[in-house]
A and B are shown apart, each in its own frame.
Chain A
């Protein structure tokens, strides 16, 4: 009896609190009854799961053709990497993901974590590039898919971070010239679209650099992503620096710490801790933005999907299923990062994130 009353109270509070709410509930339920069966039909009941192009053609979009994923997943995930060697990008990806996961979950203490990164990054490049330990060399023009996406995003954040700290400190410097330069850099980059920075990296870097000093397109695009991400990240860090109460500077000075010592031991740790959630948002943006490198002909996840399907007359009409597949991969990455950031937010405390 009590149970029923409680359920009724819950229903009233959450679904029928007033006329408008009740109407909304009925409308949404009606919509669900109308749309859901068709959706389930398309996604599961009529869908083709085997890599069978003829079956997919017969169903003719009445059901999803997940067979396209079953047929092409290796091409989508690893791009043009030589088929027989694809255990290497798989292992490299797993390694990098494991270190990222361990860092986020704080599975290791700081010393082990640094060692893990110092081992994982070279291992990633050795596995991908080969040329030593008896691995066949694979040029970076053949790297593609998920490992390339992860590489661009991870290195983008890792390298942008120290640059962003320097720029943020530069903007607080007492030297007007340095301050002006840092401000110019940040405002310039934040005012233009990422594509223009990627064009710059891809078309202009080769002309600017001396002859015989050519660096390959992957490195140039990576540099573009780092420069772009650092501008946004430095604004976040500057916000953190401004949020540290002035008393902290005074206290550090009273203890006899120099300006740099105070920055290193007192101010920066507090500033960075306060903006961890916003920095995670930057990481999510960088991860999503890596998809743009397909415009300058690097075949990361989005690019390798087009590469896998566009040229194949049998499968090309099932792009949508492919987009849903890689969309799912991006979604898992971004959603876990933003969940992590929200977890941090509650740990850091509302006061520190109010700014």
Chain B
């Protein structure tokens, strides 16, 4: 027993030594390469002026502001598209997941077709297609489609009524010869990303919801119906509380994937964190620093989500016990 323990310690010491040697060698080579190519290192660029503009931003930003602020604006943009997309994909996905369990053949077929189509085509391709549809196939702003009164859809994006800034309670967009004036405008990049992420993730959410509900033993439904519960009651009081326990962990995983997938924004020019970091990388040449920043931010988001998921799981457990 003693011998085995010593051997294990020996192996680990060797492993640690080998690892340190490789790391040392890599750092040495990297330092030599960087010196030769004149690449500087360090995070000092974060406080220098960014020198580039950001297409749209929740935070006020212009090119004289620091790179750190640019990256923060990028992160805010990531969250601005990811949070509504999480909401939409969860609602739509739940409906489609339930549709796949419907007794109605047509509805079931339609929902299955949706899931099988959206899941089996790369998200990047879907994003590019949505972006093309918005920017190329929609009419010009002066001939914008009117979806409902004061909601306009055109090449320039979606215009919505919004809270007025100067005294008026509400600011209504109006269509004129020069395009659309007033209201809040969602850019084509934002629209395409929101639409693409939501619809793609909804297919995965649907599968999660379906699997969760099917994981509840059939006897539970039979017993509930035998007790005289209606289908709606059966669903709300028996199936959902039990299904939630197996739905929530994979569902939070889907939300996390969605947030990571928001990084595909770089392909259609929406200034999310990765896009801004990519621009910074090209301007400053600080590849290692920029990539480390992207990874660190996403790791923190992952940890936060894992923590939130554990909390939700505890709560849903309690809720299931109570009802």
Contact = CB atoms under 8 A, between A and B. Distances in A.
B278 to A, nearest CB: 7
Given A207-B39, A326-B125, A199 B291 contact: yes
Interface string B15-44: 110010000001001101110110100000
Interface in A318-341: 319-320, 323-324, 326-327, 330-331, 334-335, 338
B287 A193 contact: no
A34 to B, nearest CB: 14
A188 B302 CA distance: 10
Interface in B233-259: none
Nearest to A316: B136
A196 B266 CA distance: 11
A177 B12 contact: yes
B24 to A, nearest CB: 13
Contact of B129 (A292, A294, A327): A327
B269 to A, nearest CB: 12
B189 to A, nearest CB: 15
Interface stretch (B54-62, B89-97, B105-113): B105-113
A283 to B, nearest CB: 12
B33 A207 contact: yes
Interface stretch (B45-53, B64-72, B114-122, B313-321): B114-122
A290 B25 CA distance: 31
Given A193-B274, A199-B278, A211-B33, A291 B132 contact: no
Interface string A184-226: 0000101111111001100110111111000000000000000
Given A191-B299, A193-B263, A204 B125 contact: no
B261 A193 contact: yes
A254 B298 CA distance: 47
Contacts of A320: 129, 132-133, 137
Contact of A330 (B122, B260, B290): B122
Nearest to A319: B132
A10 to B, nearest CB: 9
Nearest to B260: A193
Interface residues of A, number: 55
Contact of B294 (A29, A61, A199, A326): A199
B281 A338 contact: no
Nearest to B129: A323
Contact of B291 (A203, A206, A294, A334): A203
A21 B33 contact: no
Interface of A: 13-15, 17, 21, 24-25, 28-29, 61, 174-178, 181, 188, 190-196, 199-200, 203-204, 206-211, 284, 288-289, 291-292, 294-295, 302, 306, 317, 319-320, 323-324, 326-327, 330-331, 334-335, 338
Contacts, number: 151
A331 B124 contact: no
Contacts of A289: 122
A302 B124 contact: yes
Given A177-B12, A178-B15, A284-B120, A327 B104 contact: no
B267 A15 contact: no
Interface string B201-230: 000000000000000000000000000000
A338 B133 contact: no
B281 A175 contact: no
Given A331-B117, A331-B120, A175 B8 contact: yes
A291 B122 contact: yes
Nearest to B110: A28
B197 interface: no
B128 A196 contact: no
A9 to B, nearest CB: 13
B170 interface: no
A294 B124 contact: yes
